[in-house]
Amino acid sequence: MDIANLDTSALDTAAKFFRTMQKAGANLTGPMQDRTKRRNFVEYLEKGCPKINDNGEVVTNQLPEGHELARLILGDDYITPEEMAEAYSFNYTEEQLEHFENTLPDMEKLLQHRQDDSILYPQPSVEQCLVELVVMNDFQLEGRWFNEQKQKFAHEDKTSAGGWLSLRKNGYPGSFNETWQTQKELLSEDERVPNVAEAYCGFSAYHKIRGVWLLKNKYLRTLSVSAGGRRVDVGGFGGVGLSVGGYWDGSRGGGLGVSSARK
């Protein structure tokens, strides 16, 4: 192979491969210096890199790992970074993709997400506020009450850049028709109330990628607060996409619950 004639993309791919393998602890010196080892290595790659036990035997009847395991357990409630990137034209960095791979919840946590009836999704490649998310989802921004400059939450409360987040699809059980004080005290120790950007991002992404609107007749309080002191909520949907409203913390309603997130 003439290295000088390889195009830039091929060289970049090769460099990325070697960096990734090196980080994983692989020593490629043997295959590089020995033709038989190279042939064996290629055959192993062609077989899909099956798991090998301590005796050098291929492990059969094993559960899938990584993204395949998440898809097996959560089904459509699991959104991959590739799906998110394609839907929104995100450009995740190599480091972000590696972070997603290394921090994907284990089986126990995935089963917990399924029990909670949650969606698990990758957050955007850069921090996004509510205003940016509305535009990103191709919904109307002009005339929306939260687009006023005084509504700082719509500009300052943001998603994280990369990283997993899970959201209960129907809010926290037992949180409906309760005040904000009661609702936030219901959450378990490892759950938290997301801000409006995090909630809007997850529920809107589920619609954009899965074609399903959640929260049709429900509204979920978030951590964000409007300029007038109302607790911001998301829910319902219409021509402007996911609705964004607000209620006083002491207000109750049969369709008003609280959103819950886990990392």
Tens digit of pLDDT for each residue in 158-179? 999 999 999 999 999 999 999 9
State the pLDDT at residue 209.
Answer: 98
Q: How big, in percent rounded to 5, are the helix, strand and coil portions of the chain?
A: 40, 15, 40
Give the range of the structural domain holding residue 31, as residue numbers without chain letter: 1-62
Indicate if 90 and 72 belong to the same structural domain.
Answer: yes
Most confident of 31-45, 58-72, 148-162: 148-162
Q: How many domains does the chain have?
A: 2
Q: 74 and 171 in one domain? A: yes
Give the E-state strand segments of the chain in sequence order: 118-122, 164-168, 219-225, 231-238, 241-247, 256-258, 261-262
The reply to whether 128 and 69 lie within a common domain is yes
Give the pLDDT of residue 52. Answer: 72
pLDDT of residue 3: 52
**Cα–Cα distance measured from residue 99 to residue 47, given in angstroms and rounded to the nearest whole number:** 26
Same domain, 89 and 145: yes
Domain boundary among 40, 62, 84: 62
Sign of CA dihedral 115, 129, 229, 206: negative
pLDDT reading at 53 higher than 70: no
Tokens 């037992």 found at: 174
State which of 62, 88, 111 marks the end of a domain: 62
- 129 pairs with which residues across the strands? 158
